[in-house]
Structure 1
Amino acid sequence: MTAAILQASGGFGTFLVPLALMFGIMYLMVILPQQRQRKKTQAMLTALKTGDKVITGSGIYGTISGLDGDSVIMKISSEPQVKIRIARAAIAQVETSQDAK
């Protein structure tokens, strides 16, 4: 009787160990990199300032001419009156000097 109980509990333990191992690997390979990328993107969005050259998620290139809370006023042409207001979260990246060339 006790051998059957020990064998049954060993079967449950052998089920939990691989499951925990799979969760640990999934955390290290998927969740942790996503959290790092999200923090990096959030830091980039909070560091935006007037004059930064940016690219939106839809591929629009422009220069930030003003910041207004959660939105950004972006100049998209050499003409001074051609400006658009976009959500700050729509900015995909800030151009570096190498990207601008």
Structure 2
Amino acid sequence: MFVTPAYAQSAAGGGDVFTSLVIPMLLIFGIMYFLLIRPQQKKLKEHQNMVNNLRRGDQVVTQGGIVGKVTKVRDDAEIEIEIAQGVNVRVVKHTIATVRSKTEPAES
């Protein structure tokens, strides 16, 4: 009694599987890409650019909330910041949240 309407329904809508499953999934992925993935990649690229352009004299804020002035760029992964007079701290570059004030590049 219940099997007959189910077979009749699946036989009539056999071509609808693509439009009922695949197209909505593609739309959801497209929306997620433009609303979440793309802006996050853009933000990551801006942060990497900011971190790579750090130089001596920049005033920075770490993700922990420490404000200091860059005294030395040690290598690709670390910088040294002065958080108080005579107090220097080594910090991983990627923990820099923002650059408050930027120094001008040296004239050559």
- Which residue does 1:76 correspond to in 2? 83
1:96 Cα offset (Å): 3.4
Identity across aligned pairs (percent)?
A: 33
- Which residue does 1:11 correspond to in 2? 17
Equivalent positions of 1:16-31 (< 5 A) are 16-31=22-37
Determine which of 65, 69, 91 is the counterpart of 2:71.
Answer: 65
Q: Which amino acid aligns with 1:27?
A: Y
TM-score, normalising length from structure 2? Answer: 0.79
Q: Which aligned runs of 4 or more in structure 1 are off by greater than 3 angstroms? A: none
Q: Which amino acid aligns with 1:16?
A: V
Contact 2:58 2:101 in 1 (8 A): no
Determine which of 82, 89, 92 is the counterpart of 2:94.
Answer: 89
TM-score, normalising length from structure 1? Answer: 0.84
Is residue 44 from structure 1 mapped to residue 53 from structure 2 by the alignment? no
Distance in 2, Cα, partners of 1:20 & 1:64: 47
Contact 2:81 2:90 in 1 (8 A): yes
| Larger proportion of helix | 1
1:16 Cα offset (Å): 0.7
Structure 2 stretches lacking a partner, 5+ long: 1-9, 103-108
1:10 Cα offset (Å): 1.8
